[in-house]
Amino acid sequence: MSLYIVATPIGNLEDITFRAVRILKEVDLIAAEDTRHSGILLKHYGITTPSTSFHSHSTDAKARALAEEMRNGKSMALITDAGTPGISDPAWTLIQAALAVDVPVIPIPGPAALLAALMGSGLPMNEFVYLGFIPAKKGRQTLFESVRDETRTTVLYESPHRLTKTLSQMEPILGPDRIIVLARELTKMHETFHRGTLGALLAQAKKQPFKGEMVLVVAPENFKLNDY
């Protein structure tokens, strides 16, 4: 009885560890955020383990039922649509449910968009803060003010259709000269890092909106372009 938390690729199917593939083959059941989406990965690696869905609309009762199955001896792997389960996705409730009935939780580390973005950003990464998704409505102003005063690199997730609005709201608060990196389509064919000032990035976004999956990496408040 165990719950393996298995990190899966964020775009490039090759980004999975040998251990992750072995665990996914060996467990009794795979709990996946979207079984159809994960089916592509599982098929690619010849993984025929049965799967069940566990997503943001799954109830606590479903989490408890799965945890009960594990307590009765089943081993399970938890995967989400991309990256490290639990990072801004619904995995956390199943981890909690497993621990509540003393099922060991075993991490199988691998990709996470926030780390890939940091790695390519060129910004200081010994210390950083990850703040998850920028809220769609409430709390944006307060969030941007905290990012303005942050002395460490800040990593945020944002959806493409809100990016221009977000940069427009950030500019007067953080100032047009704040260094920022937009990491798009990480590990995929069109992976791009846009590095520069907030003002320049906003001007570019206004000219032609950026598309694809994206991570924003904001430099510490005292970071200068020539520190780059």
- The CA–CA distances, whole Å, from 156 to 28, 32, 88, 117, 217 equal 35, 24, 10, 10, 6
For residues 21 and 5, what is the distance between their CA atoms, to the nearest angstrom? 12
For the segment 93-152, give every residue that binds ligand SAM (CB under 6 A): 112-114
Q: Is 221 near ligand SAM (CB under 6 A)?
A: no
Instruction: Output 98 or 214, the one with its CB closest to ligand SAM.
Output: 214
Considering the complex, what minimum distance in angstroms separates the CB of residue 85 from ligand SAM?
Answer: 6
For the segment 167-196, give every residue that binds ligand SAM (CB under 6 A): 183, 185-188
Binding letters toward ligand SAM, positions 25-64, x by CB under 6 A: ----------------------------------------
Q: Is 87 near ligand SAM (CB under 6 A)?
A: yes
Burial 98-108 (b: 16+ CB within 10 A, else e): beeeebeeeeb
Characterize the bridge pairing of strands 153-158 and 128-133.
parallel
Segment near ligand SAM (CB under 6 A), from 21-29, 75-83, 173-181, 195-203?
A: 75-83
For residues 166 and 146, what is the distance between their CA atoms, to the nearest angstrom? 15
Q: Give residue number: closest CB to ligand SAM.
A: 83
Interface with ligand SAM by CB under 6 A: which residues? 10-11, 80, 82-84, 87-89, 112-114, 157, 159, 183, 185-188, 213-215
